[in-house]
Chain A
Amino acid sequence: MTESSSEVLATSAAAWDYAPAPESRDVVTIRPRYELWIDGEWSAPQSGEYFPTVDPSSEEELAVVASAGAADVGRAVAAARAAFERGWATDHAGRAHYLYRIARILQTRAREFAVLESLDGGKPIRESRDVDVPLAAAHFFYYAGWADKLEYAFPHGTRVPHGVAAQIIPWNFPLLMLAWKIAPALAAGNTVVLKPAETTPLTALLFCDVAREAGLPNGVVNIITGGGDTGAELVRHPGIDKVAFTGSTEVGREIARSVAGSGTHLTLELGGKAANIVFDDAALDQAVEGIINGIYFNQGHVCCAGSRLLVQESIQEPLIAKLTERMRRLRVGDPLDKNTDVGAINSRAQLERITSYVRYGIEDGAEIFQPDCVLPSHGYFHAPTMFTGVTQSHRIAREEIFGPVLAVLSFRTAEEAVAMANNTRYGLSAGVWTEKGSRALAVAQALRAGVIWINTFNKFDPASPFGGYRESGFGREGGRQGLEPYLHLT
């Protein structure tokens, strides 16, 4: 494409604008203050401390939330233990029924959850409405069916739940990660104490109301809010039998150190730096959609994001031209607007981290492209960003940014592409784009990552196991394999 024609397109895109289509926030009631959910009731923190949670698109304070201290963690663990010992593990059909009820209530209250998720976390309503909430309900529905069929999942020997599971989830998919954690844990017969992320506690707190509505026995699910200190208290509490964590590799290492030698079962779902490999015979328009979805979905706050684009040298020029055109059409702005593609960055701290990495990219000598978009004057926003001319030693090609920043590298042969893709300490996901079946399968086999998307990207399903190799963590979530971390098999 010539320079002048791309200018014409850019101008026409700006002129051809959408009318605002905001989703109403009246559907959800946010209380001014939230306590801890322990043993089936709201309970003020013994610490007496609260912290605010804000709407990252406006910096407006939405509510204050209890900060659980050591004593509160102890109470939550004791409640979970008591519930475990009241027969939760043995009533297989009962567990199935409760999980089905939860799935159905989530579906019924989907709009409420979607709006609250976008308000508290900044993700576009289109994504919370079409991805996060339906998938969360689907996870409960899927694992409900396993609760009374565990002997079919693992036919040999015995299968015994661990007991009380401590679960710590991140801020990028708050309700969905809650579902990924709670559904298999309960299906397997464990009880849980879950801590949502500090910046996105509200949908987990609304979930307490779902648990109440479903009639879930007291203490089976306990939700305690707080920051890193609360999480640290929780994972080292002696009453915990199993720890499941999703978050950064840095915190994952700390958790592994703190449970070392305790016999506590551990699964970690950590960071990533996925390669999205595009071969010269790929269907380019489809690949462009996959690349955009791979890195700009949820503002790039995705552990499995396709943050390294590896493109075969012979098609680099046309692919980059198509990508830049597509990026010019991404709509950045109000998360509650149904037309928004890229919402708000989750927090000020994360925005600063992303900005630093963009600076490293420029300092290391890569070439930056950002579409000419007007960012809102309030709130935390970042333009979709693409770096070309990146080499493997650049920090933006090695470290997880967790933002809308794509690093483009080129390769000549399939062997080189595989070597570059595997040249990372992570191993969570990867993408392959080619119309040649044998090449797709061979590359998928050679990639050292837990999830491989061929001619697609960022697809999730409760029946599909998800999890990493190497420093992306260990254990799988989803599928029959996702039950295993919550059972002691002999």
Chain B
Amino acid sequence: MSRLTVTKTNKLFIDGSFVRSESGQTFTIAGDRYPRASRKDVRDAVRAARAGYARWSAQTPYNRGQVLYRLAEMLETRRHELEAACSGAAEVERSIDRVVWYAGWPDKLTQVLGSTNSVAGPYLNYTTAEPTGVVGVLAPTEPPLEGLISRLAPVLAGGNAAVVLAGEVSAPAAVVLAEALATSDLPAGAANLLTGPTHETAKVLAGHLDIDALDLDVAGEPGYLIELERLAAGGVTRVVRQRATEQTLGCVAAFVEHKTVWHPRGI
């Protein structure tokens, strides 16, 4: 008799742990079951992200860059699994290279985006690039892996924590990505990945008063996106819309706050 393989139970990734949806609900993609995140799961993920943000933003930018590079290493070791979860080898390679590109940014953001400012008086005045905080990400559905990584990597590179709604199509990619994140020395809660239909959960995320910014899938249905933007307005949440596979400094800068510090000069 041949050996029975051990099958994987797919989970949500919240606060560094693999958990089922608190609702106990699942949905099916290509015959496999995935957890269907509930509104309560979103709220739990935001709370975890707030704590994760404190840990992640307290690490040195050099350290954050190394963790992101390790994420690329962990993805490379899972490339066969990832290929099965997206369009194939080319998409996996683009995704891994994108993580490497963003891994180089954390310790350069203030040098590129910040400044020392010449003010008309006896003061030292400088501007640094600081993380915005907790970012809600409504991930694009296509391409499943590259879309997820293109939106998540710049958020993390900026020193922010993320709550990503991966949706349904990207669920297989999200599950493998979560395992790579979990083995990258990323502090618990810095990245949270939820799978399942987003029609209800996206509203909870957009209107949550403890998220600081919202990254919306630019290809979403217009009426729905307007509703999400209106919800975000309630908390003066920054709303960002970027292309699914964009790779620019602007993707990081969108989740950066300029902090300006004054100090007198005098003898």
Contacts and interface: CB of A to CB of B under 8 A. Distances in A.
B258 A456 contact: no
Contact of A461 (B121, B222, B230, B234): B121
Contacts of A93: none
Interface stretch (B18-26, B83-91, B112-120): B112-120
Contact of B226 (A249, A260, A455): A260
16 contacts: A156-B249, A249-B236, A256-B232, A257-B234, A261-B222, A450-B257, A452-B261, A454-B261, A461-B119, A463-B120, A464-B127, A466-B260, A470-B133, A470-B236, A471-B236, A479-B260
Contacts of A463: 117-120, 125
B262 interface: yes
A480 interface: yes
A138 interface: yes
Pick the most buried of B117, B120, B212, B258: most chain A CB atoms within 10 A of its CB. Answer: B258
A480 B115 contact: yes
A449 B259 CA distance: 7
A464 B260 contact: yes
A257 B249 CA distance: 28
Interface string B226-267: 100110111110110000000001100000011111111000
Nearest to B58: A446
Interface in B176-231: 212, 222, 225-226, 229-230
B117 A464 contact: yes
Contacts of A481: 113, 115, 127, 258
A252 interface: yes
A452 B127 contact: no
B229 A252 contact: no
B69 to A, nearest CB: 23
B125 A464 contact: yes
A459 interface: yes
Given A261-B226, A489-B250, A455 B236 contact: no
A359 interface: no
Contact of A253 (B225, B236, B259): B236
A451 B262 contact: yes
B264 A456 contact: yes
Interface of B: 113, 115, 117-121, 123, 125, 127, 132-133, 212, 222, 225-226, 229-230, 232-236, 238-239, 249-250, 257-264
B229 A260 contact: yes
A453 interface: yes
Pick the most buried of B120, B121, B132, B250: most chain A CB atoms within 10 A of its CB. Answer: B120
A459 B123 contact: yes
B218 to A, nearest CB: 11
A156 B236 CA distance: 30
A156 B250 CA distance: 11
A444 interface: yes
Contact of A452 (B120, B226, B260): B260
A468 B115 CA distance: 17
Given A253-B236, A479-B115, 9 more contacts: A257-B230, A261-B222, A451-B260, A463-B118, A465-B117, A465-B258, A467-B258, A471-B235, A471-B236
A50 interface: no
A464 B263 CA distance: 12
A465 B128 CA distance: 10
B257 A461 contact: no
Nearest to B249: A156
A459 B262 CA distance: 8
A282 to B, nearest CB: 13
A473 interface: yes
Closest 3 A-B residue pairs measured CB to CB?
Answer: A261-B226, A256-B233, A260-B229
A489 B249 CA distance: 11
Nearest to A444: B261
A454 B127 contact: no
A164 interface: no
Pick the most buried of B121, B234, B259: most chain A CB atoms within 10 A of its CB. Answer: B259
Contact of A455 (B121, B258, B264): B264
Nearest to A447: B259
B127 A474 contact: no
Pick the most buried of B127, B225, B234: most chain A CB atoms within 10 A of its CB. Answer: B127
Pick the most buried of B119, B230, B262: most chain A CB atoms within 10 A of its CB. Answer: B262
Contacts of A146: none
Contacts of A453: 262
A454 B243 CA distance: 40
A463 B260 CA distance: 11
B222 A464 contact: no
A268 interface: yes
Given A253-B236, A461-B121, A479-B127, A261 B225 contact: yes
Contacts of B115: 465, 479-481
Contacts of B259: 444, 449-452
A60 B249 CA distance: 54
B219 to A, nearest CB: 14
Nearest to B114: A481
Pick the most buried of A440, A461, A473: most chain B CB atoms within 10 A of its CB. Answer: A461
Interface string A117-152: 000000000000000000000100000000000000
B120 A461 contact: yes
Interface string A458-490: 010101111101111110100111000000010
Contacts of B222: 261
Contacts of B132: 469
Contacts of B233: 253, 256-257, 260
